[in-house]
Structure 1
Amino acid sequence: MTPKQVDTVIGADSSFEGIFKVTGTLLIEGTFKGDLVFSDQIYISPSARIYSDLRGGAIFVEGSVVGNIYSSNRVVLLPGSKIQGDITTPELITQKGVMLEGKCTITQNIS
């Protein structure tokens, strides 16, 4: 799943370490290691490897995430996604072929 409009991209051959804050839509195709990612929408492509907590509005995952996910809108786990961490969101959508090792909390109170 690729968003129609992307404001920021971490490309497939790129890696980033640190704290990353961006508004708009973020597409991660490469490797991200850091403390937190802030964005309105985050798309984790199948080639992406994330070693970080993620914070955003809507978060769509097809790649690998090692860290907790905090979403103020929804989390969508697409086929092939692998999550090692907890998910906190008001809405969780999963599809067949998802691997999740962690707990899910469905709540409107995201801190």
Structure 2
Amino acid sequence: MAEDKQKKNLTVFGQETEFDGVLEFTDNLVITGKFKGEIRATGDLEIEKGAVCQVEKMTASSIVISGSVTGDICAQERVEMCNGSLVHGDVKTARIRIAENVEFEGEISMLEKEPETNLFSVASEEYKNALLLKSDDPR
């Protein structure tokens, strides 16, 4: 079943894409252009460097921000604000990472979440890989 989670489709909103409205999706999405409105997702969301998002609320499983986001953010798994990102809004998540050189203005609320993996039933390498965050990824 863990393989099913890895095989989600990836959609990319290109740099020339401008979207205004409500966006709902279950797979993974990367935004490199401009977005305005609301995002309701069960997949993962990535806001690339140079992307600009103005939202009432952005909801996804995990959200990685390298660009600019104005509005409230809610992620069941994690939120990661990468070096050089700009975030103005309240954040609600189970795990958060804020890199150096991030402009953040807002409040953070932590969600209590039970780990999906029983720590004692998996190999340590497998568990470490499950916790790997984008900024740790050498690629």
Q: Give the TM-score taking structure 1 as reference length.
A: 0.88
Contact 1:80 1:99 in 2 (8 A): yes
Aligned length: 105
Flag structure 2 segments of 5+ consecutive residues without an equivalent: 1-7, 114-139
Flag structure 1 segments of 5+ consecutive residues without an equivalent: none
Give percent identity, aligned residues only: 29
For residue 18 of structure 1, what is the amino acid of its counterpart?
G
| Structure showing greater relative contact order (alpha-carbon pairs closer than 8 Å, 6 or more residues apart) | 1
Tell me, in whole angstroms, the C-alpha distance in 1 between the residues paired with 2:83 and 2:19: 25
Instruction: Tell me how large the CA RMSD over aligned residues is.
Output: 1.5
Is residue 29 of structure 2 the alignment partner of residue 26 of structure 1?
A: yes
For residue 106 of structure 1, what is the amino acid of its counterpart?
M
Tell me, in whole angstroms, the C-alpha distance in 2 between the residues paired with 1:77 and 1:6: 23
Tell me, in whole angstroms, the C-alpha distance in 2 between the residues paired with 1:11 and 1:60: 17
Tell me, in whole angstroms, the C-alpha distance in 2 between the residues paired with 1:84 and 1:37: 19
Tell me, in whole angstroms, the C-alpha distance in 1 between the residues paired with 2:23 and 2:38: 8
Larger-Rg structure = 2
Q: Give the TM-score taking structure 2 as reference length.
A: 0.71
Residues 16, 70 of structure 1: CA spacing in aligned structure 2 closer, same or farther, 3 A cutoff?
A: same
Deviation beyond 4 Å, 4+ runs, structure 1: none
**Residue among 89, 102, 105 paired with 1:101:** 105
Tell me, in whole angstroms, the C-alpha distance in 1 between the residues paired with 2:100 and 2:9: 26
**Residue among 66, 75, 81 paired with 1:77:** 81
Tell me, in whole angstroms, the C-alpha distance in 1 between the residues paired with 2:17 and 2:90: 26
